[in-house]
């Protein structure tokens, strides 16, 4: 009997050169969190984002956000505004620093941080003599947030923005690449992201001093001395030279990966838009999403669950959209500024399999199951 293979939400997709770079690391014995692949990978990202940027390759996206907060001197008692509709890794580093997250709901055009609610929150906190130390904005599922509006508010109140571009390498906002829309941005190369090093991340800055400081902190903050001398607390957050080799191979195929994910989105949309109960997130004019994950919004929780269950019964992975941070038990005591947008997305939305390695046969199998959901 022919058994169907499991279809994953987003699985790693190697390009071909990764092993060559990994072998070079072995051949030269650079099995360490530094070496030619780390430098080469940083250069590749720099070239991709624009040469005026400075890139520090780190052990994860989470570590990159943590160091970004550290570079902004966020510390105990400070407040940080954070998009509520995101993965918990956007917010957890705020807690690592002993600071307090305040969650901001999304707006419907991009599903990302609402400029209106952001400004309301800032005014409220300033009135209470608690001016926020930073804003964490996220390009969720690859869709850019409204950067002009967010940056204007940030500038008006003089609060730095950390751009969480973990899901958005290859996305663009007007003529700019995501990861370059702010003074401090982060990327992730976890196994499920658009390209992967199995695990890894990067911090992107405008200044070589900030990059050097990030590298210094990420390698245990050793002062310049023959012995181990420390005048600040360091972290072990640098990327491994072996894993950076995977990253160098992956950077050779980033454009192909973006095209493949966008093609998935278009194929889903082409075949499902005849159903009135299913909606897609369109790109506002000037926005270009890498379509890391194709998401649908249904008209009810019940329908969403029936689709999800039918896919699961055929060994196809799908997942509800991110549960907003202001609804998470771990953040239940945190303040939030919400209007119901992300709660509705969480209730009715579903992530569909979106890997760049999905075949037409895989997509047709998924579409067949969805299209046959009763009462669609
Ligand atoms: C994946 C992800 C992160 C964390 O990146 P890791 O490399 O997994 O630590 C942060 N923010 C968002 C939005 C993510 O999707």
Given a contact cutoff of 8 angstroms between Cβ atoms, the answer to whether 266 and 42 are in contact is: no
Atom index in ligand 1 nearest the CA of residue 64 equals 9
Expressed in angstroms and rounded, the spacing between residue 371 Cα and the centre of ligand 1 is 32
How crowded is the C-beta side of 40, counted as CA atoms within 13 Å?
Answer: 21
Residues 6+ apart with CB under 8 A from 193: 10, 166, 167, 169, 292
Given a contact cutoff of 8 angstroms between Cβ atoms, the answer to whether 321 and 346 are in contact is: yes
Residue nearest to atom 2 of ligand 1 (CA): 166
218 secondary structure, DSSP code: H
Expressed in angstroms and rounded, the spacing between residue 63 Cα and the centre of ligand 1 is 9
Q: What is the pLDDT along the chain (376 residues), one digit of tens a residue?
A: 556 899 999 999 999 999 999 999 999 999 999 999 999 999 999 999 987 999 999 999 999 999 999 999 999 999 999 999 999 999 999 999 999 999 999 999 999 999 999 999 999 999 999 999 999 999 999 999 999 999 999 999 999 999 999 999 999 999 999 999 999 999 999 999 999 999 999 999 999 999 999 999 999 999 999 999 999 999 999 999 999 999 999 999 999 999 999 999 999 999 999 999 999 999 999 999 999 999 999 999 999 999 999 999 999 999 999 999 999 999 999 999 999 999 999 999 999 999 999 999 999 999 999 999 988 8
What pTM was estimated for this model as a whole? 0.97
- Tell the burial category of 368 from Cβ atoms under 10 Å away from its Cβ (0-12, 13-18, 19+): exposed
Q: Does the beta carbon of 165 sit less than 6 angstroms from any atom of ligand 1? A: no
Q: Does the beta carbon of 240 sit less than 6 angstroms from any atom of ligand 1? A: no
- Tell which one of 139, 179, 190 to mutate to probe ligand 1, the residue whose CB is within 8 A of the most ligand atoms: 190
In order of 62, 201, 333, the CA distances from 97 in angstroms are 13, 19, 17
Given a contact cutoff of 8 angstroms between Cβ atoms, the answer to whether 346 and 320 are in contact is: yes
Q: Does the beta carbon of 118 sit less than 6 angstroms from any atom of ligand 1? A: no
Expressed in angstroms and rounded, the spacing between residue 3 Cα and the centre of ligand 1 is 34
Atom index in ligand 1 nearest the CA of residue 65 equals 10
Q: Where are the beta strands (DSSP E) in the chain?
A: 54-58, 79-83, 100-104, 134-138, 161-164, 172-173, 176-177, 184-188, 201-205, 278-280, 287-288, 294-298, 319-320, 336-337, 349-352
Q: How many CB atoms lie within 10 A of CB 79?
A: 21
- Token pair 């002993």 is found at 98
Distance CA 225, CA 47 (A): 33
φ and ψ of 306, to 5 deg? -65, -40
């Amino acid at each position: 009997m022919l058994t169907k293979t499991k279809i994953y939400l987003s699985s790693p997709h190697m390009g071909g050169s990764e092993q060559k770079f990994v072998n070079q690391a072995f051949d030269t014995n650079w099995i360490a969190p530094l070496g030619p692949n780390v430098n080469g990978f940083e250069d590749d990202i720099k070239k991709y984002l624009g040469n005026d940027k400075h890139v520090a390759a780190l052990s994860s996206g989470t570590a990159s956000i943590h160091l970004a907060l550290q570079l902004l001197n966020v510390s105990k008692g400070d407040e940080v505004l954070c998009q509520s509709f995101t993965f918990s890794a956007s917010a957890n580093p705020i807690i690592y620093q002993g600071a307090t997250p305040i969650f901001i709901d999304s707006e419907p055009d991009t599903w990302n941080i609402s400029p209106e609610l952001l400004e309301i929150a800032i005014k409220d906190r300033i009135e209470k003599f608690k001016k926020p130390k930073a804003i964490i904005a996220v390009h969720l599922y690859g869709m850019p947030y409204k950067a002009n509006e967010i940056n204007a508010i940030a500038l008006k109140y003089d609060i730095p923005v950390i751009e969480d571009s973990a899901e958005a390498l290859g996305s663009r906002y007007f003529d700019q690449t995501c990861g370059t829309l702010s003074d401090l941005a982060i990327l992730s190369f976890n196994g499920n992201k658009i390209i992967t090093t199995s695990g890894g991340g990067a911090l992107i800055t405008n200044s070589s001093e900030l990059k050097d400081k990030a590298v210094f902190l990420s390698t245990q903050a050793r002062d310049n001395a023959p012995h181990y001398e420390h005048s600040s607390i360091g972290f072990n957050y640098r990327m491994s030279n072996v894993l950076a080799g995977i990253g160098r191979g992956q950077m050779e195929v980033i454009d192909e990966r973006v095209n493949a994910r966008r093609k998935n989105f278009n194929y889903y949309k082409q075949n499902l838009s005849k159903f009135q109960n299913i909606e897609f997130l369109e790109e506002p004019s000037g926005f270009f999403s890498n379509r890391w994950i194709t998401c649908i919004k249904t008209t009810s929780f019940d329908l969403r669950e029936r689709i999800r269950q039918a896919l699961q019964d055929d060994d196809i992975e799908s997942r509800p959209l991110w549960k907003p941070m202001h609804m998470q038990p771990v953040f239940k005591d945190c303040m939030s500024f919400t209007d119901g947008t992300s709660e509705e997305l969480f209730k009715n939305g579903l992530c569909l399999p979106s890997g760049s390695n999905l075949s037409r046969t895989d997509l047709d199998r998924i579409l067949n199951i969805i299209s046959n959901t009763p009462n669609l």
